[in-house]
């Protein structure tokens, strides 16, 4: 496989990871592209086997040439014609495959650009992030480990803590940045 196709695939993979909202679709497209590349590799293997078979048959014909009524010149012309036919078929198949891959790369590029645009629009509309924290929160409380599906406001409701106190105690500037397994201090009382 040409290295420029591999580099293009790696670049698209990186862009796909950056496009948060389109990761699943990009993974599907990438899996489809990988399947296509595997099929291409299989087809190239089949063609290689065909060429090897032709080479064996050519060798057998050359061995029989001394016993045959066909002249060496006629045999050489037949082999040359066969080689031209094979090369033409391989070139046509290669063009078709490259066109398919180029189309898929173009579609992935458009999807990635759309995802990046959506991500940029989403970032532009986000509210200002809190960057200063108050020390005015109860110093007694409990620890809470974030589980899948938790939100900061949901944790506050579950534990009876105040959202602002939880933010300040844990210095959380962005409510969407809590992660599963993270331990938070939940101030109690006041």
CATH at residue 169? 3.10.350.10
Same structural domain, 52 and 110: yes
Q: Give the integer Cα–Cα distance in Å for 22 and 112.
A: 7
3-state secondary structure of 32: helix
Q: Is residue 134 part of a domain?
A: no
Per residue in 93-131, pLDDT (tens digit) is 999 999 999 999 999 999 999 999 888 887 766 666 557
Greatest alpha-carbon span in the chain: 109
Q: Is the pLDDT score of 50 beyond 60?
A: yes
The range of the structural domain enclosing residue 154 comes to: 141-187
Q: Is the pLDDT score of 147 beyond 70?
A: yes
Same structural domain, 69 and 110: yes
Same structural domain, 90 and 149: no
Region 153-182: mean pLDDT is 92
Name the least confident of 15-29, 105-119, 165-179.
15-29
**Exposure string for 162-177, b = 16+ CB within 10 A, e = fewer:** beebbbbbbebeeeee
Q: Is residue 149 part of a domain?
A: yes
Q: Is residue 133 part of a domain?
A: no
Q: Is residue 132 part of a domain?
A: no
Same structural domain, 11 and 85: yes
Q: Is the pLDDT score of 5 beyond 60?
A: no
- Identify the CA nearest to 109 among candidates 26, 2, 24: 26
Q: Is residue 56 part of a domain?
A: yes
Region 163-171: mean pLDDT is 92
């Amino acid at each position: 496989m040409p290295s420029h196709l591999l580099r293009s695939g790696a670049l698209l993979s990186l862009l796909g990871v950056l496009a948060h909202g389109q990761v699943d679709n990009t993974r599907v497209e990438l899996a489809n592209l990988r399947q296509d590349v595997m099929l291409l590799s299989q087809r190239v293997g089949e063609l290689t086997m065909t060429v090897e078979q032709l080479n064996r048959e050519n060798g057998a014909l050359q061995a029989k040439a001394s016993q045959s009524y066909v002249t060496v010149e006629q045999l050489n012309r037949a082999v040359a014609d066969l080689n031209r036919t094979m090369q033409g078929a391989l070139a046509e198949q290669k063009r078709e495959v490259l066109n398919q891959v180029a189309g898929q790369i173009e579609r992935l590029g458009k999807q990635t650009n759309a995802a990046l645009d959506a991500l940029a629009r989403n970032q532009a509309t986000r509210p200002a992030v809190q960057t200063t924290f108050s020390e005015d929160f109860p110093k007694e409380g409990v620890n809470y480990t974030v589980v899948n599906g938790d939100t900061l406001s949901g944790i506050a409701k579950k534990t009876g803590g105040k959202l602002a106190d939880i933010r300040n105690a844990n210095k959380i500037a962005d409510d969407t940045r809590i992660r599963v397994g993270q331990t938070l201090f939940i101030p109690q009382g006041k």
